[in-house]
Amino acid sequence: MSQTIVNVVDGMIQQMQEYGIQESTVNQYYRGFCKPIIRFFNEMNGGLYSKSLLVEYKESARQRFEAGQFKERHFNAIKRCVRLLITFAETNHADFSLPKEHKKYKPFTENLEIIEQILATTTYESGFKYKLHCCMRHFFCFIEQAELTADEISDSTFFEFLNTVSETNKGSMDYILIAIRLISNFLKMERKISIKTDFSKLRLKYPLQRLISPYTEEEIKRLLSVIDNTSVIGKRDKAILMLAFDTGLRAIDITRLCLGDIDRLSGEIHIIQSKTKRPLSLPLHASVMNAVADYILEARPKSTLKEVFLTTLSPYKSLNGANSLDGVIEKYSKSADIKKKPYRSFHSLRRAFATELSAAEVPLSTISQMLGHTCINSDYPYLSYNKQQTSQCTIGFEKIPIVTGFYSDSYIPPLQNRSTITLEHLKTAIKKLPAMDFREVPLEGGAYA
């Protein structure tokens, strides 16, 4: 029986997780490499797995790389993804072993020694040094082919090399320029060779950066309007989507959000970011608190799991990282007849959050803090900012019906230490609050102003 490319991708992704590969890397492989492969297969043969089609896809990627459409690093990742898919499809086990080292450029020993001397003076990470080592070997092979020694290198030698590799190695030009700068400086300082050009002044002409459209406020309201508020999965997905747009949290942090991360006394959530491992504190709009509470009290399965958002079918478990949320937003985008735009995914809600803040003239430093992009002092574990200012940027959800309302401006009873909060504690505290209609929430002035 023929297997589909989706089944092969799902199996390979699962083995990546079991192998211990970082969640961010797994998500990057799924969204950046596997999803384009799935689309390619759907267009070519309806989604059935084929080794020859994977090889064809890799060759197509090679052509795009050689045309300078993306960098060598990206192409190498595509090759590895294809290899993992093929080995999983053929043996039911993805081959995570590293390929045997094969050096394309092998200069003479004396030139290799120069390369080692140059790199020894730098403080680059080992992975970065490895790429520079390759570029430097390429350069010294070039001069050896021209029957030149290191002492015979001149400005014109460097320019001839750059002219050659600009056609053959477009995806590696950023590394090559750094390598050339290091080599020229070394030859000037250590070998006293007369090189007049300052190669640190050379800059690449980059293609226009790809801009991924965020979801607009109108599109987000359409997304929310098609969700079935009476169903278990509808209550969960509405809470997730509203939480994503209101806080700008990464998908992985939403799926890992725990009951104890919600602080109702301050109307905030406190998390340790999965990507940066740094703490982040963010305010929650009353409408979002209502949606999350509605899900926890009315729809969340009975479970001892600490994560807020769970699957809807038994055996219940936490959501599977960012990949599951991509499926959520794709489903409702289709139902709301929202045009699919290239590269737009659940992560675009994070971009929408930042866009709304920027449009409201929130300072960039504040936006960076709220996105978790800045360093956080260990003595000040949670961020602080002008909540009155940022709450004015929150999308108005007045027209989005919340079936049950729980949060108001009234007193919220304190709980035990956050680290010991359980689902029962959370439900008990929430039920003590007076029920209120969502329309009573003062959105324009900020719910917790």
pLDDT tens string 320-379: 777 788 888 889 999 999 988 877 888 888 877 767 666 666 666 666 666 665 443 322
The per-residue pLDDT for 99 is 61
The per-residue pLDDT for 210 is 61
Per the structure block, which two tokens stand in for 235?
Answer: 């209550």
The reply to whether 68 and 150 lie within a common domain is no
The per-residue pLDDT for 420 is 42
Residue 275 lies in a domain: yes
Domain termination site, one of 47, 65, 91: 91
Share of the chain above pLDDT 70, in %: 76
pTM of the full structure = 0.51
Domain termination site, one of 134, 168, 201: 201
The per-residue pLDDT for 421 is 44
The per-residue pLDDT for 281 is 86
Strands of 268-272's sheet in order across? 262-263, 268-272, 279-283
Total number of domains constituting the chain? 3
Residue 255 lies in a domain: yes
The reply to whether 191 and 306 lie within a common domain is no
The reply to whether 45 and 69 lie within a common domain is yes
pLDDT tens string 30-84: 988 999 999 999 999 999 999 999 999 999 999 998 888 888 888 888 999 999 9
User: Beta-carbon neighbour count of residue 279 at 10 Å?
Assistant: 16
Residue 244: closest CA among 300, 365, 325, 344: 325
Residue 209 lies in a domain: no
Residue 163 is part of which domain span? 109-201
The per-residue pLDDT for 282 is 85
Beta bridge partners of 4: 48
The reply to whether 323 and 194 lie within a common domain is no
The per-residue pLDDT for 373 is 58
φ, ψ for residue 369 (rounded to 5)? -65, -45
The reply to whether 322 and 353 lie within a common domain is yes
The reply to whether 287 and 411 lie within a common domain is yes
The reply to whether 197 and 221 lie within a common domain is no
The per-residue pLDDT for 186 is 93
Structural contact between residues 219 and 270, judged by C-beta atoms closer than 8 angstroms: no
Structural contact between residues 315 and 325, judged by C-beta atoms closer than 8 angstroms: no
d(CA 444, CA 449): 10
DSSP collapsed to 3 states, the chain: CCCEHHHHHHHHHHHHHHHCCCHHHHHHHHHHHHHHHHHHHHHHHCCECCHHHHHHHHHHHHHHHHCCCCCHHHHHHHHHHHHHHHHHHHHCCCCCCCCCCCCCCCCCHHHHHHHHHHHHCCCCCHHHHHHHHHHHHHHHHHHHHCCCCHHHCCHHHHHHHHHHHHHHCHHHHHHHHHHHHHHHHHHHHHCCCCCCCCHHHCCCCCCCCCCCCCCCHHHHHHHHHCCCCCCHHHHHHHHHHHHHHHHCCCHHHHHCCEHHHEECCCCEEEEECCCCCCEEEEECCHHHHHHHHHHHHHCCCCCCCCECCECCCCCCCECCHHHHHHHHHHHHHHHCCCCCCCCCCCCHHHHHHHHHHHHCCCCHHHHHHHHCCCCCCCCCCCCCCCHHHHHCCCCCCCCCCCCCCCCCCCCCCCCCCHHHCCHHHHHHHHHCCCCCCHHHCCCCCCCCC
Residue 364 lies in a domain: yes
The reply to whether 164 and 245 lie within a common domain is no
The reply to whether 304 and 374 lie within a common domain is yes
d(CA 46, CA 53): 12
The per-residue pLDDT for 217 is 83
Structural contact between residues 171 and 182, judged by C-beta atoms closer than 8 angstroms: no
pLDDT, one tens digit for every residue, the chain (449 residues): 578 999 999 999 989 888 878 777 888 899 889 999 999 999 999 999 999 999 999 999 999 988 888 888 888 889 999 999 999 999 999 988 766 555 678 899 999 999 999 999 998 888 788 889 999 999 999 999 988 999 899 999 999 999 999 888 877 888 999 999 999 999 999 888 888 888 888 877 655 556 677 888 889 889 999 999 899 999 999 999 999 888 888 888 999 999 999 987 778 899 988 877 888 888 888 888 889 999 999 999 999 999 999 998 888 988 877 778 888 888 999 999 998 887 788 888 887 776 766 666 666 666 666 666 544 332 232 223 334 444 444 445 554 555 444 444 333 333 334 344 444 554 454 444 443 333 333 333 333 33
Residue 445 lies in a domain: no
Domain termination site, one of 91, 119, 149: 91
Residue 272 lies in a domain: yes
d(CA 32, CA 21): 16
The reply to whether 353 and 257 lie within a common domain is yes
Residue 210 lies in a domain: no
Per the structure block, which two tokens stand in for 278?
Answer: 């740094």
The reply to whether 39 and 183 lie within a common domain is no
The reply to whether 42 and 163 lie within a common domain is no
The CATH number that applies at residue 382 is 1.10.443.10
Structural contact between residues 219 and 338, judged by C-beta atoms closer than 8 angstroms: yes
Residue 212 lies in a domain: no
The per-residue pLDDT for 384 is 33
Structural contact between residues 266 and 243, judged by C-beta atoms closer than 8 angstroms: no
Residue 114: closest CA among 134, 137, 131: 137
